[in-house]
């Protein structure tokens, strides 16, 4: 029950990130650069404070590195945050979340292939279905999301895939996450200044950015990393496929965004294709008893 609650809470937080960004950026309540900067700085403050309190409660004080993580992870986090905000100026919440998480999963699968993993035919078929559905979603048409926004969201998804790949061997996820946000925070301050020079934000827009950084990102990542050690890599990937659906429902209810037939078809194709590829990958890696050895055991 605890694992289910943690996982559901994390997925809701990830979907909320898309909704908050769209609420702030679609009506131009805040500049996307300022939104990204506030999100990074707020996330750094919350994660840093929680890390300090946890270390203090455990009697560790300043044990361990003051700033964990790595500069490469911080750079991928920064690229994700900026492209994510810029994309949501143009792209509605539902297709935005769909493109984002499709590119995350496809990027990680592509990296596995690059590193020597040889997918089975069913895995290739799943990836082809997902990629074809993604192309269908962004292909020219009256209801397709703007191509520049779709490209920016794809960059955000691939950047997040890089961030996940770099951090998957982390032995201290909270410390590394806090360190990566802290490393990105100085650039976040510069982004806030640049955004303020471009446009004066509305208080509501700044509040959405603070909520995204402190709650949906900062606390959401803590909840997710609390659940992640208890999930297999395939199950973790599967549950993330619920985020676009949650964002679609939230966007339809809260933002009055249209649920088009193109979006429904693309969502079914992308989520179904990735699910097929992940399931086939899990099946291929599962240790199966050799048929001959099984028959020999039964004889005795």
Asked if the structure places residue 300 within a domain, the reply is no
Number of structural domains, the chain?
1
Band of the pLDDT at 255, cuts 50, 70, 90?
confident
Distance CA 264, CA 242 (A): 14
pLDDT of 21 over the 60 cut: yes
Per-residue confidence band for 247, with pLDDT thresholds at 50, 70 and 90: confident
Q: Are 32 and 85 in contact (CB under 8 A)?
A: yes
Within-domain flag for 295: no
The better pLDDT of the pair 96, 271 is held by 96
Residue 296 lies in a domain: no
Give the position of tokens 């520049």.
148
**Distances, alpha carbon 153 to alpha carbons 103, 149, 227, 298, in Å:** 9, 6, 26, 55
CB atoms inside a 10 Å sphere around CB 255: 17
Per-residue pLDDT for 53 more than 90? no
If you average pLDDT over residues 35-48, what whole number do you get? 94
In a domain, 24, yes or no: yes
Taking only the tens place, the pLDDT of each residue in 169-181 is 677 778 888 899 9
Instruction: Residue count of the chain, please give it.
Output: 300
At residue 286, the pLDDT reads 61
Whose tokens are 């990680």? That residue is 108
- CA–CA separation, 269 vs 102, rounded Å? 10
Average pLDDT on 52-57 reads: 80
Q: Per mean pLDDT, which range of 12-16, 223-227, 278-282 is the poorest?
A: 278-282
| Domain annotation covers residue 201 | yes
Is residue 68 domain-resident? yes
> For a pLDDT cut of 90, what percent of the chain falls above it?
29
The boundaries of the domain holding residue 63 are 2-286
Q: Is the pTM of this model over 0.85?
A: no
Return the structure tokens found at 274: 């990735």
Q: Are 166 and 70 in contact (CB under 8 A)?
A: yes
Q: Is residue 298 part of a domain?
A: no
**pLDDT value at 289 more than 70:** no
158-169: pLDDT as tens digits: 998 888 888 776
In 3D, which of 105, 87, 97 has the Cα closest to residue 151? Answer: 87
Residue 291 is assigned to a structural domain of this protein: no
Token pair 């890599």 is found at 233
Element (H, E) at 231: none
């Amino acid at each position: 029950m605890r694992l289910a609650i943690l996982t559901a809470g994390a997925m809701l937080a990830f979907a909320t990130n898309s909704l908050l960004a769209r609420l702030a950026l679609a009506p131009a309540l805040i500049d996307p650069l300022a939104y990204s900067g506030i999100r990074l700085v707020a996330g750094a403050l919350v994660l840093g404070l929680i890390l300090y309190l946890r270390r203090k409660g455990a009697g560790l004080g300043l044990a361990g590195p003051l700033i964990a993580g790595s500069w490469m992870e911080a750079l991928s986090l920064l690229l994700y945050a900026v492209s994510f905000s810029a994309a949501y100026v143009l792209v509605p919440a539902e297709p935005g979340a769909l493109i984002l998480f499709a590119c995350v999963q496809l990027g990680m699968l592509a990296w596995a292939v690059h590193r020597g993993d040889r997918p089975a035919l069913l895995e290739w078929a799943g990836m082809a279905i997902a990629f074809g559905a993604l192309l269908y979603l962004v292909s020219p048409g009256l209801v397709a999301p703007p191509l520049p926004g779709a490209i920016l969201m794809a960059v955000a998804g691939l950047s997040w895939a890089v961030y996940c790949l770099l951090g998957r061997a982390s032995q201290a996820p909270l410390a590394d996450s806090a360190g990566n946000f802290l490393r990105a925070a100085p650039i976040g301050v510069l982004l806030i200044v640049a955004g303020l020079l471009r446009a004066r934000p509305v208080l509501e827009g700044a509040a959405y950015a603070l909520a995204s950084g402190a709650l949906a990102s900062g606390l959401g990542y803590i909840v997710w990393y609390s659940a992640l050690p208890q999930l297999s890599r395939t199950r973790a990937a599967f549950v993330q496929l619920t985020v676009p659906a949650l964002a679609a429902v939230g966007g339809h209810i809260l933002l009055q965004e249209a649920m088009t037939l193109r979006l429904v078809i693309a969502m079914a194709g992308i989520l179904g294709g990735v699910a097929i590829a992940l399931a086939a990958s899990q099946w291929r890696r599962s240790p199966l008893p050799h048929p001959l050895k099984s028959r020999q055991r039964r004889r005795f």
